[in-house]
Amino acid sequence: MKIALYNSHGRVLEPFKPLTDKEVKLYACGPTVYNYAHLGNLRTYIFEDLLVRTLTYAGYKVRHVMNITDVGHLTGDGDEGEDKMLKSAQEKGMTPWDIAKFYADAFFADTARLNIQTPTVICKATEHIQDMIDLIKILEEKGFTYQAEGNVYFDVSKFPKYGEMALLDRTELKAGARIEVDTAKRNPQDFVLWFTNSKFGRQAMVWESPWGVGYPGWHVECSAMSRKYLGDQFDIHCGGVDHIPVHHTNEIAQTEAATGKEPWVQYWLHAEFLLTKTFKMSKSEGNFLTLSKIEEMGFEALDYRFFCLGAHYRTQLTFTEQALEGARAGRRALFEKVKSLPSPSPGFGPNQVSATGRDYLDRFEQYLGEDLNMPRALAELWGTLKDVTLGPEEKRWIINTMDRVFGLGLEALTPDGVPVPTQDPALAAEVEALIDERNTARKNKNFARADEIRNQLKGRGITIIDTPTGTSWENHERKM
Ligand code: AMP
Ligand code: ZN
C-alpha cells in the first residue's frame, strides 16, 4: 500500500518511506495536564490515532511515543505568561503533582472512550529531568547557550536554519515584532532551556541542575524524551498547527544543534484546528467543551470520533451541536446496518472477497494513502454497505477490515448492540463505595463533591442513574 503524507517541513506531499524498513518511529506532543482536554485537543489525538492505525494497516510496526507535559509550559508558547500547572494548582488548592495526576487520568479516560489506542511509550516530563539537563549540557558545550538573569537561553543566532519549517523571516525576527521583549534575551526568538529565576511566584516543582535549582523550559522536554525513546533521528513528529511557529521550531533547533544530525525528523504532520462559531476553544482561557460535557448533552464519545472522520485533518473544522447531531445520526445508522450483517466465519479471508469487494478495499486504501483522506475512505465503507451485489458475510468482512483504521468498534457489534464488558467485582465494589460517598455528600448538600464523583465515574464510562428507590449504575461505554 502506497502512502503519501503532507510534510509541513517544505509544505509538500511526499511518498512515505520510513528510515528502517518496516518500523515507523513516531512522536506526538502530548497534553499539558493542568485542565481537561478540550474537543479541539481531542481532534488532534484522533488524527494521530488514525495515522497510527493507517500505518499499522499498511503493515508497519509503529513505535508511538507521547509525552505528558506536567511541568514547564507557560500560558504563552514562548517564555511569557504564568506556569500553567502552578496557576491551576493555586486556583484549585491542590499541589501541581496532584493536578497533573488528576488531569492525566481524565485524559486517558477520554482517549479510551474515543477508541484511541494507547501509545507504545507514555513519558512524563517530570520523570525525565536528567535527560533534559544532559541535552542542555551538550548544547552548552557546543556553544549554543548563554546565561542571563538566572536563566539558560538557546541562542538562535547560532543556528542558521532557525525557523525554516515555519518559514519565519529572519529580518522580521530581528525586529521582534510579535514577541514580548525579554531584556535578558540577545535575540527576540531565543528561548529558555532552564529557568532558575522564575518571574511567576514561588515555583513548586524544582530540581537541582548545573545552573542552579530550577525547572526546564517546555520545548526541551520533547527534544530530550523523543531522543531517549526514538534516537537522534526518526520518522514522524505530530501535533496541532499551533505548534509550528514556536514549539516545534524550537524543538528542531535544540535537537539538531545538539546531535549535529539533520533532518532530525523526516515528516512533520500537523492537524488543523477545531473551531467554534462564537469563540476560539482555549484550554488556558477555560472556555471550552470537553468530551464529558457532550456526553452529558446525550452524545456518545464515538459520535465525536465519527464527526472528526468527516473532515480531512488539514482542514479547519467548525463544531456546532447541530453538526454533532448529524454525526450521531450517521453513526447510529451505520451501527444499525452493520449489526444486522452476520459476523464472518473464522475461515473467511481476503481470498473469499469478490472482485467488486476488492475494488472497494483498493479505493479505501488509495484514499488512506492520499494523506489520510478519511472522508473519502469512509465513503467507500458506505458504498460497501449499500452495494446489493455483495453478500452479507463478505460485506461484514470488508467493513470490519476497514474499521481497523476508523476505530469505531464495528467488529464487536452484534444484533443486540455492543456487548457491555462484564463488571468485575473489584470495579463494582469501587463504584458502589463511590456511590455511597456521593449519596452522603448529597444528603449533606455537598453538591460539588457529589458532582465530582459523578464526573469521575462518567470519565470511566460509568453512568449513575438516580431513581426513587435508590441509585444504580451501568457501564455504558460503547453501548448503542
Ligand atoms: P496542549 O494540551 O495545550 O499542549 O495541546 C494538546 C494538543 O492539542 C496539541 O497538539 C495542540 O496543538 C492541539 N490543539 C490545541 N488546540 C486545538 C484546537 N482548537 N483544535 C485542534 N487541536 C488543538
Ligand atoms: Zn512537543
Instruction: Confirm if 353 and 391 have CB atoms less than 8 A apart.
Output: no
Please indicate whether residue 273, judged by its CB atom, sits closer than 6 Å to ligand 1.
yes
Please indicate whether residue 111, judged by its CB atom, sits closer than 6 Å to ligand 1.
no
Q: Which atom of ligand 1 is nearest to the CA of 274?
A: 20
Q: What is the mean pLDDT of residues 137-149?
A: 97
Flag whether pLDDT at 474 surpasses 80: no
Please indicate whether residue 292, judged by its CB atom, sits closer than 6 Å to ligand 1.
no
Q: How many other C-beta atoms can be found within 10 angstroms of the C-beta atom of residue 170?
A: 14
Cα-to-centroid distance, 247 and ligand 2 (Å): 6
Please indicate whether residue 327, judged by its CB atom, sits closer than 6 Å to ligand 1.
no
Q: Residue 167 carries which side chain, given as an amino acid letter?
A: L
Q: Whose CA is nearest to atom 18 of ligand 1?
A: 40
Structure confidence by residue, pLDDT tens digits, 188-217:
999 999 998 766 566 778 999 999 999 999
Q: Which atom of ligand 1 is nearest to the CA of 272?
A: 21
The position carrying cell 483498493 is 362
Cα-to-centroid distance, 89 and ligand 1 (Å): 21
Flag whether pLDDT at 417 surpasses 70: no
Q: Which atom of ligand 1 is nearest to the CA of 33?
A: 2
Please indicate whether residue 31, judged by its CB atom, sits closer than 6 Å to ligand 1.
yes
**Least distant ligand from the CA of 265:** 2
Flag whether pLDDT at 171 surpasses 90: no
- With a CB cutoff of 8 Å and minimum separation 6, the contacts of 67 are 29, 30, 122, 123, 124, 125, 221, 222, 225, 226
Longest dimension (CA), the chain: 74
Structure confidence by residue, pLDDT tens digits, 39-54:
999 999 999 999 999 9
Structure confidence by residue, pLDDT tens digits, 63-122:
999 999 998 666 666 666 677 777 887 788 888 888 899 999 999 999 999 999 999 999
C-alpha cell, 417: 448492540
Q: Is the peptide bond before 263 cis (omega within 30 degrees of 0)?
A: yes
Cα-to-centroid distance, 89 and ligand 2 (Å): 22
Q: Which atom of ligand 1 is nearest to the CA of 280?
A: 19
Cα-to-centroid distance, 465 and ligand 2 (Å): 40
How far is 409 from 94, CA to CA, in rounded Å? 37
Cα-to-centroid distance, 30 and ligand 2 (Å): 7
Flag whether pLDDT at 421 surpasses 80: no
How far is 242 from 124, CA to CA, in rounded Å? 21
How far is 233 from 378, CA to CA, in rounded Å? 34
Q: Where are the alpha helices (DSSP H) in 311-408?
A: 321-339, 355-369, 374-386, 392-406
How far is 291 from 313, CA to CA, in rounded Å? 19
Cα-to-centroid distance, 343 and ligand 2 (Å): 42
Cα-to-centroid distance, 68 and ligand 1 (Å): 13
Half-sphere exposure at residue 392, Cβ-oriented, CA atoms within 13 angstroms: 8
H or E element in which residue 251 lies: helix 249-259
Cα-to-centroid distance, 118 and ligand 1 (Å): 18
Please give the pLDDT value at position 165.
95
Which domains does the chain show, CATH number per domain? 17-271 (3.40.50.620), 276-412 (1.20.120), 425-475 (no CATH)
Q: How many other C-beta atoms can be found within 10 angstroms of the C-beta atom of residue 286?
A: 10
C-alpha cell, 243: 505548534
Q: What share of the chain is helix, strand, coil (3-state, %, to 5)?
A: 45, 20, 35
Q: Looking at per-residue confidence, does 280 or 249 come out higher?
A: 249
Please indicate whether residue 459, judged by its CB atom, sits closer than 6 Å to ligand 1.
no
Cα-to-centroid distance, 39 and ligand 1 (Å): 9
Flag whether pLDDT at 176 surpasses 50: no
Please indicate whether residue 281, judged by its CB atom, sits closer than 6 Å to ligand 1.
yes
Please indicate whether residue 283, judged by its CB atom, sits closer than 6 Å to ligand 1.
yes
Which of 32, 44, 111 gets mutated to test ligand 1 (max ligand atoms within 8 A of its CB)? 44
Q: How many other C-beta atoms can be found within 10 angstroms of the C-beta atom of residue 64?
A: 25
Confidence of residue 173 (pLDDT cuts 50, 70, 90): low
**Least distant ligand from the CA of 284:** 1
Please give the pLDDT value at position 478.
40
Q: Whose CA is nearest to atom 8 of ligand 1?
A: 41
Which of 36, 38, 41 gets mutated to test ligand 1 (max ligand atoms within 8 A of its CB)? 41
Flag whether pLDDT at 475 surpasses 60: yes
Flag whether pLDDT at 245 surpasses 70: yes
Please give the pLDDT value at position 477.
42
Please give the pLDDT value at position 467.
59
